[in-house]
Structure 1
Amino acid sequence: MSDVVRAAESVISGAGGAAADRHMHIGVVNAAKVVNMRRDAALREAVLTSDLILADGIAVVWASRALGTPLPERVAGIDLMTRLLELADRRKLRVYLFGATEDVNAKMAEEIARCWPGAVVAGRRNGYYAADEEEAIARQIGDSRSDLLFVAMSPPKKEIFLARWGAVMRVPVSHGVGGAFDVVAGKVKRAPAGWQKLGLEWLYRVVQEPRRMWRRYLTTNTAFAWMLAGAWVRKRFGGGERGSPTSARVSQS
């Protein structure tokens, strides 16, 4: 993760000079997103426009090891967001918050002011809007002259927005963070460290929100397991990596 933060700092440092067009769009994948990328061409194309794709899901890390192309670690989106906010605090960077409900978004801004006072919230907007508002939102983000953009929305909405409007927003570093604002704002409790180390953060979410989460994890985790099994058989007995759950460009960072 430290390599990612250093790369982000390098991009931001070069944004005002000869490298003004440099940017880094950080994407993340977990088991559910890998499954949905196979089913949804628009999501897959949007994710693959990312400059960096990280494994935000222990199942993806396990799959990479099973297929002989091991990723070094899971990089949770919320942990990377926190590290980038520490960078913003230290460097007095400008941050834009896009997504979640209005209450959560406002609370997120308050938490940044409290925990990372050196960071400047250059603008914020909740994640509820009509399709015909997208361009205006993108231009508003661009006008904010932010160094960092955090997008807290569910897939495929955030991935497609970032892919479609990145050139308009021209933010040096953008990062889709899913439900991270809910955690920082205190709306949702994150799994204890012990659960995280065991790779059971997904199970903790199911326990917290069983009616909303159980079906998602049952269906996507089952589909991911079948994809992994098929990829393992093809790798062992021939047939290449077609359909491999880690065949998408996932970074070793």
Structure 2
Amino acid sequence: MSVLQNVEDDSPLFAFEVTQRDVCLFGIKVHALAVSQALDNIDSAIKNKQSLHIGMLNAAKIVNMKRNPALGDDVRSSNMILADGSAVVMASKILRKTLPERVAGIDLMHGILSRGNKEGYRVFCLGATPEISAKTESEIRKQYPGVVIAGTQHGYFNDSEEAAVAQQIADSNADVLFVAITSPKKEQFMARWNKTMRIPVVHGVGGSFDVLAGKVQRAPLIWQKYGMEWLYRVVQEPGRLWKRYLVTNTLFLGMLVKELFLPSKPF
């Protein structure tokens, strides 16, 4: 195991070692885990005070990792990488490197909160607007009263304030940090300040706070079942999202075809 060193008191925080099987997709090591297995790893990391940095992978992120090598490095620095998109699970089947199921970031967040409701996890919520941040805190307290809110901080801070935010999180003694900041800033923040924050579990949750706070409606289960959650989002915000998904999905399909004939090596 590697050691993440505490810059304040030099006490060690060991990196959690995921022992379950992983597969290589598009040169990225993805762990072949069901939601329940991921939650078991998270619980173990919390109880043993080990560092578990969770990376979530969907089609758009795979495309953007190819465009932005720095983003790729930040995602690969995670020690548990999960398939957050149905397209990634579909690709794993086509490439004969089958993943057991999709582990959506928002489902994992609710799973952590559900277990935390029983175990008394301390949670810090980082990201979104001040209004959404406050509403998210309120909803967690209402839906998961056994969870301790160790702290909150909205996502509208500049680069010069990052160190102070990271120290605020460190001082909270949280077990779990939810990061609701858009990519690639989210991955950059998590990778840059992980050693300072010294939080056992760090999970980038994307737009999950907007859903939890009721600002955005999540796709019905039937849309989720058939991997069409992205289309539901486009229907909700066509002017903003149609071009992004058209370009991203087209590029991802091209990468998948290439991967069939020239598989990428892990790096």
The TM-score, its normalising length taken from structure 2, stands at 0.86
Q: Which secondary structure does the structure 1 equivalent of 2:140 belong to?
A: helix
- The one-letter code matched in structure 2 to 1:90 is K
SS in 1 for 2:189: helix
Runs of 5+ unmatched residues, structure 1: 16-21, 235-239, 249-253
User: Structure 1 residue 216: deviation in Å?
Assistant: 1.0
Query: Distance between the aligned counterparts of 2:100 and 2:182, measured in 1?
Result: 26
Residue equivalent to 1:181: 209
Q: How does 1:31-180 map to 2 (within 5 A)?
A: 31-180=59-208
In 1, the alpha carbon distance for the partners of 2:61 and 2:240 equals 17
Q: Report deviation, 1:145.
A: 0.2
Q: Does 1:10 align with 2:33?
A: no
Judging by fraction of residues, say which structure has more helix. Answer: 1
SS, match of residue 75 in structure 1: coil
- 1:241: how far off? 2.3
What do the CA deviations read for 1:24-72 (whole angstroms, capped 9, x no partner)? 0111011000000001011000000001111111111111111111111
1:84-131: per-residue Cα shift (whole Å, max 9, x none)? 001111111110000011111100000011000010111001111111
Deviating runs (4+, > 2 A) in structure 1?
A: none
> How many pairs were matched up?
233
Q: In the alignment, residue 159 of structure 1 is paired with which amino acid?
A: E
The residue identity in structure 1 corresponding to 2:46 is I
Q: Provide the secondary structure at the position in 2 that maps to 1:97.
A: strand
Matching residue's letter, 2:39: V
Q: What CA deviation, in whole Å up to 9, does each residue of 1:171-200 have, x standing for no partner? A: 000100000000010000000000000100
Higher strand share: 2
Question: Residue 233 of structure 1: CA displacement?
Answer: 2.4
Stretches of structure 2 that go unaligned for 5 or more consecutive residues are: 1-34
For 1:102 and 1:215, the matched residues in 2 are separated by 29
Secondary structure at the counterpart of residue 91 of structure 2: helix
Find the residue that maps to 1:128 and give its secondary structure: coil
Alpha-carbon separation, structure 2, partners of 1:231 and 1:14: 38
The alpha carbon displacement at 1:212 in A equals 1.2
Residue of structure 2 in register with 1:19 after alignment: none
TM-score, structure 1 length as denominator? 0.90
- Of the two structures, which has the highest relative contact order with CA contacts closer than 8 Å and spacing of 6 or more? 1
